[in-house]
Amino acid sequence: MNSVNREWAFDFGPGQPMKGYIGVSPQLRYDEEVGYGFEGNGQVNGRSRRQQELSVGETHHAEEHLIHSFCIPIGVNFVVKVPDGTYRVIAQMGDLLADTLTVLKAGESKAVLPPIPTIAGQFRTVMFTVPVRGGKLVLRFSGAAPRINVLNVSSAEETLTIFLAGDSTVTDQPSIGYPNAGWGQMLPQLFKHDVVVDNHAESGRSSRSFIDEGRLESILEKMKAEDFLFIQFGHNDEKSDIPRGTEPFTTYKQYLKLYIDAARDQQARPVLVTPVHRRYFNEDGTLSDTHGDYIIAMKELAMEEDVPLIDLAAESKLLYEAAGIEGSKDYFMWSYPGEYMNHSGGVEDNTHFQERGALRLAELVIEGIIKLDLQPLRMYVR
């Protein structure tokens, strides 16, 4: 492990690792002093497809170990102790003899890649970039038939970053609430490794409380010239409590302008996102607008300040109405008792999304990026 250059190379599975790689056996549990290993309540198995393992020091065809040997991590995390920053992750997975399907997330729940399938004998190399806070890179493995053969991790501080400021409809929801998800949680998988999504959105926050709690300041400490700041607030600005509530055409616009000015002071690029709609229908099957003047006010501000605007309110309205009163439940946290173990009593939530809905909204954000021709983001869409 090279802590000076912030580069790590791991070779997973039984047997001797390839020269220059750190060996990771299925039994290796995370230890603070060692600085890497598996943790969690799932299970890790390992296999080697070589008929005869290399002996210690043997180098002939040593690279075959990268393919022949692998770990099968199910519902566990692989953790690497790293300094906070931005990291490029390159993973290789596959199996000579079996079809595989691996789901890889960062942290508790950040969807950094679409599910990764391979057929027997096929090996895929995938790449993504992820922010690390708290001194640990956490990669969570699951899927119907997961594999991990090789993992390379390196510092990537100059990567173009999209910072997200928003509320519970945007945030990375904790895994304990699965399948609850914010659209910002699903957004990273829709970009190539050239873009990192750093999601600072937090449940219950308004344009006002987000700033008052120092969350915008935390973003500014990391922001570089040419980065992006996507701003979606409204749900909690509508609340009547003093710490969060704002008025559409006065304080709401004033607080939003603070984000715009702060990003521009850093030579970064602000983008306003109208608040995604709640799922409330009128008797005639049309969606009821619960945001009202907040949407109008944000659009006015976008015009006044010449800021790009993604109208997620309008697009989500079309999405829900197309799905209908019953079909739109599939996007939200609606479930029957026993359907999800984390919500054993069932849920009827018309504000928060399950992963399917959050992904669809993230796709609508991507469509907005393409429509506005926000370069170079458009160029880096998967």
pLDDT of residue 61: 52
pLDDT of residue 54: 43
What single-letter DSSP state applies at residue 346?
Answer: -
Amino acid 250 reads T
pLDDT of residue 118: 97
Can you tell me the distance from the alpha carbon of 26 to that of 43, in angstroms, rounded to the nearest whole number? 9
**Residues contacting 62, CB < 8 A, separation 6+:** 18, 19, 54
pLDDT in tens, 130-140: 999 999 999 99
Contact yes or no for 307/261 (Cβ under 8 A) = no
Can you tell me the distance from the alpha carbon of 88 to that of 126, in angstroms, rounded to the nearest whole number? 11
pLDDT of residue 66: 80
Top-tier CATH class for 160-380 = alpha beta
Amino acid 319 reads L
Domain with CATH 2.60.120.430 in the chain: 7-155
pTM for this prediction: 0.93
Domain with CATH 3.40.50.1110 in the chain: 160-380
Can you tell me the distance from the alpha carbon of 322 to that of 15, in angstroms, rounded to the nearest whole number? 54
pLDDT of residue 3: 44
Can you tell me the distance from the alpha carbon of 176 to that of 173, in angstroms, rounded to the nearest whole number? 8
Q: Tokens for 351? A: 């504000």
Strands 76-81 and 136-145: antiparallel
Nearest residue to 110 via CA among 128, 94, 92, 96: 128
pLDDT of residue 108: 79
Q: Tokens for 73? A: 């991590």
Can you tell me the distance from the alpha carbon of 305 to that of 257, in angstroms, rounded to the nearest whole number? 8
Q: Which residues are catalytic?
A: 168, 348, 352
Contact yes or no for 191/159 (Cβ under 8 A) = no
pLDDT of residue 63: 62
Amino acid 16 reads Q
For every residue of 281-328, DSSP letters joined together read B-TTSPBP-SSTHHHHHHHHHHHHHT--EE-HHHHHHHHHHHHHHHHG
Nearest residue to 303 via CA among 256, 367, 237: 256
Beta strands in 146-214 (DSSP E): 150-155, 160-165, 180-181, 195-199
- Tens place of pLDDT per residue across the chain (382 aa): 444 458 999 999 998 898 899 999 999 999 999 999 999 999 999 999 875 444 444 444 556 668 889 999 999 999 999 999 999 999 999 999 999 999 999 997 999 999 999 999 999 999 999 999 999 999 999 999 999 999 999 999 999 999 999 999 999 999 888 899 999 999 999 999 999 999 999 999 999 999 999 999 999 999 999 999 999 999 999 999 999 999 999 999 999 999 999 999 999 999 999 999 999 999 999 999 999 999 999 999 999 999 999 999 999 999 999 999 999 999 999 998 988 888 888 899 999 999 999 999 999 999 999 999 999 999 999 9
3-state helix, strand, coil in the chain (%, to 5): 25, 30, 40
Please give the CATH architecture assigned to the domain spanning 7-155. Sandwich (2.60)
Number of CB atoms found within 10 A of residue 288's CB: 12
Amino acid 19 reads K
Q: Tokens for 94? A: 């596959």
